[in-house]
Amino acid sequence: MTFDSAPAIVAVTLVTLATLTIGTWGLRFSRTTSDFYVASRSVRPGLNASAIGGEYLSAASFLGVAGLVFTSGAEMLWYPIGWTAGYLVLLTLVAAPLRRSGAYTLPDFAEERLASRGVRRLCSLLVVTIGWLYLLPQLQGAGLTLELVAGAPRWVGPVLVGTVVLVSVFSGGMRSITFVQAFQYWLKLTALLVPVGVLVAVWGSDGAPRATDLSQTWSMPMGTDGSAGLYATYSLIAATFLGTMGLPHVGVRFYTNPDGRAARRTTLVVLALLGVFYLLPPILGLLGRVYAATPTSADTLVLELPRLMVPGWAGDALTGLVCAGAFAAFLSTSSGLAIAVSGVLSQDVVVPLLRRRGSRFGGVAAFRIASLVAVLVPVAGALLTPSVGVARGVALAFALAAATFCPLLLLGIWWRRLTAYGAAAGLVTGLVTTGTAVVFTISGSRTDTWADVALSQPALWAVPLSFAVMIVVSLATAAHVPAHTTRLLVRLHTPEPTVEPAGPVVALQQR
Amino acid sequence: MRRWKRTHLGTEADRATFRTLHNASLASPALRGGLTVDSAERAAPHLQALLAAPALAITDTDGLLAWEGIGTHHQEHVTKLAEGTLERGATRFYDRVDLECGQAGCPLHSAVVSPLVVDDHLVGTLQAYAPDTSAMMVRATDEVATWVSGQLELAELDASRRRLMEAEVRALRAQISPHFIYNSLGAIASFVRTDPERARELLLEFADFTRYSFRTHGEYTTLSEELRSVERYLLLEQARFGERLSVRLSVAPEVLPIAVPFLCLQPLVENAVRHGLADAQTGHISIRAADSGTECVIEVEDDGAGEDPEKVRNALAGGADSVGLGNVDARLRNAYGDDYGLVVETARGAGTKVILRIPKFAPGVHP
């Protein structure tokens, strides 16, 4: 299938320019004293939630969901449901205590809670692994998109996204990252909402035709192949519900909230924003069933559908819009992940290495070196490994996060008897089990046995296993519960006062 | 492979030395916490290994802190032996008569007790128990007690350094200059007739500013609180200087929740106002706070007379020229490590720019 590539190229260029522009100049405002209080107002929950949404809605959401619904049916709706409901778990159990802990990254949380450098390093390794695993399908998706809409070779997408991310990090564009990411959310929402509106109208004017080959199984929510399908569905639910809290770029954004209460409010808004967004891709999937016979790949349905349904310039314009949204998805998720991974790399790898070699680079230089590594490795990976499909690739990252950081966070926040040894044992267990599954899935050796199903969707057995190991080892090493545990947990769970305490005024009068 | 390596690790004497040094290094971190039950319990096993005695006790001047090894029923003697040694103030040797325990087969017949001395004060004793005592044992116990005393002195030094730091923060709190109070109240008074509403607002700002600065709890605060206090300060200064003082503030909202040492910006901004308006008719001050990956970069800049770099270096090294600068620098290093000291860019006639880097997370740092 060939496309006129002009609208796509224009759209991608515009998104790139807009991203860099807002990133570089968005916040260079200056204020005189009369406006001081405006300047010291923190990021409000609404803006922060848009930014989280912008960073979170990746290519898997933008392209993958519609494609999966198109090819595999209603069963695939569990992906968007899980990706949204993950924030419900985050809201009720994690958001506020995590913010009150003062941790910026997940390794920070581990260090603060368990007072152990070893567990911190283990967490850093995990953050980098999960980040790269998540970046890989994003970059591959970018390659696929540009190949389809602009006829570019497969390598152009990953290289272009990697370059834009690096340029924005190096030019200091991350200084107003919140505004960039919030902009990306609304861009992505628009880029789906407008085409969906137009396409549904077209479908209506065509006399609302029904899909011809809607088999019974396509509309079933629980998979087709008996108990294995049921297992796979539950496992997917476990991975997405519990994995969200362990994604590196999600935790980092919560630091921007001024306190625990704001963190909760932000999460609530995120739930609403994601809920609205995820209404749209399934509609496109269903329309695909009606109008598209055979797309080249599940991930490209969203890009092809506008031209299939609307001929002429209108179809071109819609394609451009969808391309812009898709590219925004690649850029925002990739830069969010790249910054989170670079942060951990610079803190725990680059700075210690540089110091050992006697060099005293400032934090900025170390961060730039780290971001080079953080971007180049997955770009190389995207060029060298075969694609596993955007949504499935992302699901593996979720499974890894669910089997490692979910037990660490939940037990760390809610169980005072967790020890560093227990945490380390659980993290290693999760890494080994889901790591095996990832390698197995990427290597692509598929049979239809139960072992195969269990390995391609590992969360349902790997997460409970990690929890069990963490609890048992912690109980066995009960003497090593950190001394400050109770004090820290009190801090994590004590709500912030709503008004400033009046004590200092009294102190002043005493003087 | 392992055996081969072992044979090449030196002679028996060398290895004994290494073992000794290793045991000492294991005991050292605990002792650097001062003489408490906790630190004594953590250090005692290593000290026992160091002395190769069957049992070892650590006391303070009141009684037992930790017992390591066999024969725990001898704990009843510990206080008496400690008192005897502390009276004499030197290492003493006790035998079977002093250690009468009436238990058959108890091998602990003798003890060497050495006093622990910090700054010429007796703070406790180190007691080694053994079947019989040799001159070697007395000598070794004495030496170990001296080494432990040295570690405890270092602990005392750490503690007094911390106390000094706290005292400096207290001093900073109380340091709101009388000139500033006088000038602010004067400026407010000048508005009372012409613009009563503004006078009222300024007075409230003044109240809030002093309330924050005299705050007595917490070593850390959030950047947002600190900036708010700086804003109040600048509002009051602007009321006084009017058009002469212009301020630019650009703050990335992402960094506002970061925990920073209490009063870490206030002294820098005060310096900037003083320098910025020192010789010139007008002064510009700019305060920037930007997000930079895992840390936040704050810059306080003025376009005033500048300063001799040598003088600034002096102030940062603890010289008395500028209490604020050296104090902020020391507290930053104390909280975040030596990589996070103040950076001052200045020259005569070229203005001054002070740069702070604050990590978004540091263990134990929270508002």
- Asked, for residue B365, whether it belongs to a domain, the answer is no
CB-CB neighbors (< 8 A) of A504 in chain B: 211-212, 214-216
- Asked, for residue B140, whether it belongs to a domain, the answer is yes
Whether B146 and B187 map to the same domain: the answer is: no
- Asked, for residue B233, whether it belongs to a domain, the answer is yes
With b meaning 16 or more CB within 10 Å and e meaning fewer, what string describes A74-105? Answer: bbbbbbbbbbbbbbebbbebbbbbbbbbbbbb
CB-CB neighbors (< 8 A) of B216 in chain A: 504, 507
- Asked, for residue A237, whether it belongs to a domain, the answer is yes
pLDDT (0 to 100) of residue A175: 53
Shortest Cα–Cα distance, A347 to chain B (Å): 7
Whether B137 and B274 map to the same domain: the answer is: no
pLDDT (0 to 100) of residue A470: 96
CB-CB neighbors (< 8 A) of B173 in chain A: none
User: Which of B133, B166, B199 is the C-terminal boundary of a domain?
Assistant: B166
Q: How far is CA A23 from CA A50, A168, B30, in A?
A: 16, 7, 49
Residue A33 to residue B235, Cβ atoms within 8 A: yes
- Asked, for residue A504, whether it belongs to a domain, the answer is no
**Cβ-based neighbours of B164, under 8 Å, separated by 6 or more:** none
CA distance A370 to A165: 13
- Asked, for residue A414, whether it belongs to a domain, the answer is no
Domain count, chain B: 2
CA distance B259 to A102: 8
CB-based contact (8 Å) between A347 and chain B? yes
CB-based contact (8 Å) between A494 and chain B? no
- Asked, for residue B85, whether it belongs to a domain, the answer is yes
CB-CB neighbors (< 8 A) of B363 in chain A: 111-112, 115
CB-based contact (8 Å) between A32 and chain B? yes
- Asked, for residue A460, whether it belongs to a domain, the answer is no
Size of interface A-B (CB pairs under 8 A): 124
User: Which of B117, B134, B166 is the C-terminal boundary of a domain?
Assistant: B166
Whether B225 and B290 map to the same domain: the answer is: yes
Q: Choose the closest CB to B214 out of A33, A43, A504.
A: A504
- Taking CA–CA distances from B222, the nearest residue in chain A reads A258
- Asked, for residue A59, whether it belongs to a domain, the answer is yes
**B106-153 tens-digit pLDDT:** 888 888 899 988 888 888 899 888 887 788 888 888 888 999 989 888
- Asked, for residue B364, whether it belongs to a domain, the answer is no
- Asked, for residue A418, whether it belongs to a domain, the answer is no
Q: Choose the closest CB to B256 out of A28, A42, A172.
A: A42
- Taking CA–CA distances from A39, the nearest residue in chain B reads B251
Residue A102 to residue B228, Cβ atoms within 8 A: no
Whether B156 and B179 map to the same domain: the answer is: no
Residue A507 to residue B294, Cβ atoms within 8 A: no
Domain interval for residue A206:
6-26+41-387
Whether B302 and B199 map to the same domain: the answer is: yes
pLDDT (0 to 100) of residue A176: 65
CA distance A102 to A108: 8
Are B148 and B128 contacting, i.e. CB atoms less than 8 angstroms apart? no
CB-CB neighbors (< 8 A) of A339 in chain B: 293
Are B74 and B102 contacting, i.e. CB atoms less than 8 angstroms apart? no
Residue B257 to residue A257, Cβ atoms within 8 A: yes
The type of residue at B109 is H
CB-based contact (8 Å) between A509 and chain B? no
Mean pLDDT on B176-195: 83
pLDDT (0 to 100) of residue A2: 46
- Asked, for residue B367, whether it belongs to a domain, the answer is no
Residue A364 to residue B293, Cβ atoms within 8 A: yes
Whether B156 and B201 map to the same domain: the answer is: no
- Rg of chain A (C-alpha set): 23
DSSP count for chain A of H helices, then E strands: 25, 0
pLDDT (0 to 100) of residue A505: 37
Shortest Cα–Cα distance, B37 to chain A (Å): 14
CA distance A469 to A471: 5
Indicate if the pLDDT at residue B248 is higher than 50. Answer: yes
Whether B120 and B192 map to the same domain: the answer is: no
CA distance A114 to B102: 47
Indicate if the pLDDT at residue B272 is higher than 70. Answer: yes
User: Which of B108, B140, B166 is the C-terminal boundary of a domain?
Assistant: B166
Q: Tell which phi-psi region holds residue B263, choosing left (phi > 0), alpha (psi between -120 and 50) or beta.
A: left
Residue B234 to residue A33, Cβ atoms within 8 A: yes
Are B101 and B130 contacting, i.e. CB atoms less than 8 angstroms apart? no
Tens digit of pLDDT at every position of chain A (511 positions): 445 677 778 888 888 888 777 766 654 443 333 344 444 567 788 888 999 999 899 888 888 888 888 888 888 888 899 999 999 999 999 999 999 998 988 999 999 999 888 999 999 999 999 999 999 988 988 888 888 877 888 888 899 999 988 887 777 655 567 888 888 899 999 999 999 999 999 988 888 787 766 666 666 776 566 777 788 889 989 999 999 999 988 888 888 888 888 899 999 999 999 999 999 999 998 888 888 766 556 778 888 888 888 888 888 889 889 988 988 888 889 988 998 898 899 888 888 888 777 766 666 788 888 999 999 999 999 888 877 777 777 888 999 999 999 999 999 999 999 999 999 999 999 999 999 888 887 776 666 677 778 888 889 999 999 999 999 999 999 888 888 889 899 999 998 876 544 433 333 333 3
In this prediction, residue B176 has a pLDDT band, given cuts at 50, 70 and 90, of low
Question: CATH code at A182?
Answer: 1.20.1730.10
CA torsion angle for A494, A495, A497, A503 (degrees, to 10)?
0
CA distance B312 to A354: 28
Helix (H, G, I), strand (E, B) or coil at B177: coil
- Asked, for residue B366, whether it belongs to a domain, the answer is no
The type of residue at A477 is T
CA distance B212 to B173: 9
Helix (H, G, I), strand (E, B) or coil at B298: strand
Shortest Cα–Cα distance, B134 to chain A (Å): 38
Indicate if the pLDDT at residue B342 is higher than 80. Answer: yes
Residue B214 to residue A507, Cβ atoms within 8 A: yes
Whether B155 and B181 map to the same domain: the answer is: no
Helix (H, G, I), strand (E, B) or coil at B360: coil
User: Among candidates A438, A142, A91, A416, which has minimal Cα distance to A245?
Assistant: A91
- Asked, for residue A272, whether it belongs to a domain, the answer is yes
**What residues in chain B have their Cβ under 8 A from chain A's Cβ atoms?**
210-212, 214-217, 222, 224, 227-228, 231, 234-235, 238, 246-254, 256-257, 259, 286, 290-295, 297, 339, 357, 359-361, 363, 365-366
pLDDT (0 to 100) of residue A81: 92
First to last CA, chain B: 53
pLDDT (0 to 100) of residue B160: 81
Question: CATH code at B138?
Answer: 3.30.450.40
Indicate if the pLDDT at residue B7 is higher than 70. Answer: no
Q: How far is CA B198 from CA A36, A60, A91, B201, B204, in A?
A: 16, 56, 44, 5, 10
User: Among candidates A249, A296, A21, A290, which has minimal Cα distance to A145?
Assistant: A296
Q: Choose the closest CB to A367 out of B250, B252, B292.
A: B292
CB-CB neighbors (< 8 A) of B217 in chain A: 503
**B36-93 tens-digit pLDDT:** 888 888 888 888 888 888 888 998 888 888 888 888 888 888 888 888 888 888 888 8
Q: Choose the closest CB to B357 out of A39, A102, A363.
A: A363
CB-CB neighbors (< 8 A) of B246 in chain A: 32
Helix (H, G, I), strand (E, B) or coil at A300: helix
CA distance A95 to A260: 7
Q: Choose the closest CB to A32 out of B215, B247, B252.
A: B247
CB-based contact (8 Å) between A502 and chain B? no
Instruction: State the Cα angle at A390 between A349 and A395, rounded to 5°.
Output: 70
CA distance B347 to A4: 60
Residue A40 to residue B214, Cβ atoms within 8 A: no
Shortest Cα–Cα distance, A154 to chain B (Å): 31
Q: Choose the closest CB to B210 out of A41, A103, A508.
A: A508
Whether B211 and B237 map to the same domain: the answer is: yes
Whether B194 and B157 map to the same domain: the answer is: no
CA distance A310 to A291: 11
Name the pairing type of β-strands B110-118 and B92-94: antiparallel
Question: CATH code at B203?
Answer: 3.30.565.10
Domain count, chain A: 1
Tokens of A362: 């400032």
Whether B142 and B199 map to the same domain: the answer is: no
Residue B361 to residue A258, Cβ atoms within 8 A: no
Are A165 and A338 contacting, i.e. CB atoms less than 8 angstroms apart? yes
pLDDT (0 to 100) of residue A292: 76
Are A372 and A391 contacting, i.e. CB atoms less than 8 angstroms apart? no
CA distance A127 to A132: 8
pLDDT (0 to 100) of residue B1: 46
CB-CB neighbors (< 8 A) of B224 in chain A: 40, 42, 258
CB-CB neighbors (< 8 A) of B226 in chain A: none
Domain interval for residue B32:
2-166
CB-CB neighbors (< 8 A) of A31 in chain B: 248-250
Residue B250 to residue A31, Cβ atoms within 8 A: yes
CA distance B39 to B65: 9
Whether B222 and B162 map to the same domain: the answer is: no
Please list the residues that pair with B114 across neighbouring strands: B126
CB-CB neighbors (< 8 A) of A42 in chain B: 224, 253, 256-257
Q: Choose the closest CB to A258 out of B214, B224, B234.
A: B224
Q: Choose the closest CB to A39 out of B249, B254, B359.
A: B249
Mean pLDDT on B227-248: 87
- Taking CA–CA distances from A254, the nearest residue in chain B reads B254
Residue B214 to residue A29, Cβ atoms within 8 A: no
With b meaning 16 or more CB within 10 Å and e meaning fewer, what string describes A400-409? Answer: bbbbbbbbbb
